[in-house]
């Protein structure tokens, strides 16, 4: 990649000037990345690597048809442009509809608040992983397997378009994942923790208590009773509410999902009520300091904050320029790609439920029999249906937290669950552990946040018990 913006500007300007008259829209995205990947499983080192990647992509649009070509050598740029244009002209048979965006020229770096991981030697990162692995193993002799994963990446992206946009943007992202599995005879339980940051390497240091907690939960769960499957009033903590709003609702708010599914578009119609008047849901890359934060998306659209639900009503959705153009709505800066190998698609950034006014202790009031669930262990969504596994859980009895239980899954229909929110806590927590998957692009950094929630009629532990 050229070392100066001036060099890049000249290179890309010449290429775009040569070819832009052959298509309706042309964008070139250059990318330089540098990262570390470490994976320890027990005493075995599965991955220990540092790498640099340089490449780019060309996107061309003609009569609504798109062509994409990627490359690793700038000397191939003209050939790749011609490939993308040829592909677009083959499939284009309609109208190019892209929401208008003011061209911008900018150079920006998502700021760090501490040490850049590129300044930390590989051996030091490995030692950090080793220490966390030893903590996991030291909790109990019943811990049978452990894993520690470390990853960091620096990305510099330069975008140039036929509309006059030229952006040079860079950031650093870091993530660590910990897991411990405990066994007692045929009973197996796993505890997990994940953390991430776009601010400083220091955010990954001093996690001893968090790492230890993952192993402790796995061991403790061996002797806990399983929850009795039933329909309960449930209180979930901010981590689970952040996971819920991302997985269960956020994906349905991505406009490409709705545009490609007329039935979903009808369900996700503007002005429809989805929850209580206290419910406010947002997504946006504009709030700084989170893993989904940036200044411009991969189409050069400025980052925004989009309110999705206001006072319980659907008022917004997330867009690329194309989905915004097709639906006659404003672009939101949510076109993202994992790397130059992939086309940008509509993706969440930082998604959150705004804090409410109910004191957390009051969320448990008057619950005769219910479940309190914290942290996440896993989960899946299928359209509007979801199932999440809690990392730890307790029975609620007569308004008080009672005995701990295991094997707690929360299932339901997202729209019904939103309608069943009874109270929104006055707490709030940002979870920076997210790595989102969609369209084969897995591990895209995102942030999730929310308060504790009280929700009625949640199916817990599998199928509801018939009374």
pLDDT at residue number 2:
52
Q: How far is CA 173 from the centre of its chain?
A: 13
Q: What is the pLDDT of residues 200-249, one digit of tens each?
A: 999 999 999 999 999 999 999 999 999 999 999 999 999 999 999 999 99
pLDDT of 464 > 70? The answer is no
Q: What is the pLDDT of residues 248-267, one digit of tens each?
A: 999 999 999 888 888 888 99
Binning pLDDT at 50, 70 and 90, where does residue 4 land?
low
Q: How far is CA 182 from each of CA 141, 188, 192, 226, rounded to the nearest angstrom?
A: 9, 6, 12, 16
Sequence-ordered list of residues with C-beta below 8 angstroms from that of 162, at least 6 positions apart, any chain: 16, 20, 23, 25, 26, 27
How is residue 341 written in tokens?
Answer: 């190998």
Look-up of token digits 């707690």: 408
Burial of 264 (0-12, 13-18, 19+ CB in 10 A): middle
pLDDT at residue number 8:
77
Q: Is the pTM of this model over 0.75?
A: yes
| E-only strand ranges, 72-109 | 105-109
The tally of CA atoms less than 13 A away on the side-chain side of residue 239 is 20
Q: Class assignment of domain 5-221?
A: alpha beta
pLDDT at residue number 461:
85
pLDDT of 5 > 70? The answer is no
Q: What is the dihedral of CA 142, 143, 145, 148, to 10 degrees?
A: 180
Would you list the domain boundaries of the chain?
5-221, 230-460
Question: Residue 54's beta-bridge partner residues?
Answer: 32
Residue 96 to residue 103: CA distance in whole angstroms: 18
| Cα distance from N-terminal residue to C-terminal residue, the chain | 67
Which one, of 367, 346, 374, lies nearest residue 446 by Cα?
346
pLDDT of 81 > 90? The answer is yes
For the chain, what is the largest distance between any 2 Cα atoms, rounded to a whole number of angstroms? 73
pLDDT at residue number 462:
47
Which one, of 351, 364, 354, lies nearest residue 284 by Cα?
351
pLDDT at residue number 119:
97
Comparing 378 with 28, the larger pLDDT belongs to 28
Q: What is the pLDDT of residues 333-353, one digit of tens each?
A: 999 999 999 999 999 999 999
Binning pLDDT at 50, 70 and 90, where does residue 3 land?
low
Question: Residue 455's beta-bridge partner residues?
Answer: 234, 421
């Amino acid at each position: 990649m050229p070392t100066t913006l001036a060099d890049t500007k000249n290179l890309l300007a010449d290429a775009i000037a040569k070819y832009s008259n052959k298509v309706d829209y042309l964008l070139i995205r250059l990318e330089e990345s540098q990262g570390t990947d470490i994976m320890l499983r027990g005493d075995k080192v599965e991955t220990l690597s540092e790498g640099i990647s340089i490449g780019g992509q060309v996107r061309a649009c003609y009569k609504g048809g798109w062509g994409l070509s990627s490359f690793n050598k700038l000397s191939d740029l003209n050939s790749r442009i011609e490939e993308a244009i040829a592909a677009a002209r083959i499939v284009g048979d309609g109208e190019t509809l892209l929401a208008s965006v003011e061209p911008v020229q900018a150079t920006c770096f998502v700021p760090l608040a501490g040490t850049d991981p590129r300044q930390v030697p590989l051996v030091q990162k490995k030692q950090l992983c080793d220490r966390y692995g030893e903590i996991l193993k030291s909790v109990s002799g019943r811990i049978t397997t452990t894993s520690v994963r470390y990853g960091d990446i620096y990305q510099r992206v330069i975008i140039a378009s036929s509309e006059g946009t030229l952006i040079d943007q860079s950031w650093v992202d870091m993530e660590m994942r910990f897991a411990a599995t405990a066994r007692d005879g045929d009973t197996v339980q796993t505890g997990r923790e994940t953390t991430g940051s776009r601010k400083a390497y220091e955010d990954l240091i001093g996690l001893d208590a968090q790492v230890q907690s993952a192993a402790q939960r796995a061991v403790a769960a061996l002797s806990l009773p399983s929850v009795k499957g039933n329909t309960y009033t449930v209180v979930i903590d901010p981590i689970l509410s952040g996971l819920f709003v991302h997985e269960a609702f956020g994906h349905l708010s991505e406009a490409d999902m709705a545009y490609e599914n007329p039935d979903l578009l009808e369900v996700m119609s503007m002005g429809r009520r989805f929850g209580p008047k206290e419910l406010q849901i947002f997504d946006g890359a504009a709030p700084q300091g989170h893993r989904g934060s940036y200044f411009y998306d991969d189409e050069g659209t400025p980052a925004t904050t989009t309110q999705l639900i206001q006072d319980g009503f659907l008022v917004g959705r997330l867009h690329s320029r194309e989905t915004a153009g097709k639906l006659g709505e404003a672009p939101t800066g949510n076109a993202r790609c994992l790397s130059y190998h992939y086309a940008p698609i509509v993706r969440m950034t930082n998604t959150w439920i705004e804090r409410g006014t109910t004191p957390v202790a009051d969320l448990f009031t008057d619950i005769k029999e219910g479940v309190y669930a914290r942290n996440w262990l896993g989960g899946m969504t299928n359209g509007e249906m979801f199932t999440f596994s809690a990392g730890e859980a307790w029975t609620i009895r007569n308004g008080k937290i009672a005995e701990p239980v295991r094997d707690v899954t929360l299932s339901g229909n997202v729209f019904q669950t939103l309608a069943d929110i009874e109270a929104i806590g006055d707490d709030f927590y940002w979870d920076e552990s997210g790595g989102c998957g969609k369209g084969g692009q897995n591990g895209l950094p995102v942030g999730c946040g929310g308060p504790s929630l009280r929700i009625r009629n949640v199916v817990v532990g599998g199928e509801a018990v018939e009374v």
